[in-house]
Amino acid sequence: MAHGKTAIYPGSFDPATNGHLDVIHRAARIFDKVIVAAADNSGKKAFFTITERVAMLKEVTADIPNVQVETFDGLVVDYARRRQVNVLIRGLRMTSDFDYEFQIALTNRRLAEDIETVFLMPSEHVSFLSSSLLKEVATLHGDVSSLVPAAVERKLKERLKR
């Protein structure tokens, strides 16, 4: 473990999936502190409000003592500098993610060369999950219980009133 090292795991987490949670657990084993930073991007239409996303993230990470949940807006590298953190965590699900994530990592490096991006792969059984796919399944009344933590499933059912 990198002693005294903090990392930020940024994302929209709209909503958090078991894949996100898997990456959070992996990061928490590597870093002394992990800040799960939910992006408050007003330009993007979110399924859940930032307040709801943060509440769900706090609930599903409550048993991981070195994880803290926060929000941020703007560039993640600016947020990282404000928090004095120089490591960003990004999850890589499938090879199709790589091009997009690599582009983001290189852009962030251009903006802030002192901030490193670390890619973590989730477990195989959750490597296909995305929030977009999850929302589609939930909207079409599919069973999402194996895809999300129970707290998120509850909120999805409330939102979709089923």
pLDDT tens-place string over residues 21-49: 999 999 999 999 999 999 997 667 889 99
Q: What's the pLDDT band for 20 if we cut at 50, 70, 90?
A: very high
Q: Per the omega criterion (within 30 degrees of 0), is the bond before 15 cis? A: yes
Which of these is catalytic: 26, 53, 93, 155?
93
Q: Is 146 a catalytic residue?
A: no
DSSP letter for 6, please: E
Q: Is 93 a catalytic residue?
A: yes
Q: Is 127 a catalytic residue?
A: no
Greater confidence, 134 or 106? 106
Q: Which residues of 87-110 are buried (b: 16+ CB within 10 A; e: fewer)?
A: bbbbbbbeeebeeebeeebeebee
Q: Which residues does 20 contact at the CB level (< 8 Å), separation at least 6?
A: 11, 13, 91
Give mean pLDDT, residues 154-160. Answer: 90
Which of these is catalytic: 44, 45, 161, 162?
44
Q: State percent of the chain over pLDDT 70.
A: 96
Which of these is catalytic: 53, 131, 135, 155?
131
| CATH H-level superfamily of 2-160 | HUPs (3.40.50.620)
Quick one: pLDDT at residue 1? 43
Cα 136 from Cα 60, distance rounded (Å): 22
Quick one: pLDDT at residue 162? 54
pLDDT in tens, 62-102: 999 999 999 999 999 999 999 999 999 999 887 777 888 89
Instruction: Name the pTM for this structure.
Output: 0.91
Quick one: pLDDT at residue 100? 86
Which of these is catalytic: 20, 53, 90, 135?
20
The candidate with the shortest Cα–Cα distance to 7, out of 18, 57, 23, 16, is 23
Contact 38, 53 (CB under 8 A): yes
Measured at the CA of 132, the angle between CA 20 and CA 38, to 5 degrees, comes to: 45
Q: Is 20 a catalytic residue?
A: yes
Q: State percent of the chain over pLDDT 90.
A: 68
Domains of the chain, by residue range, sit at: 2-160
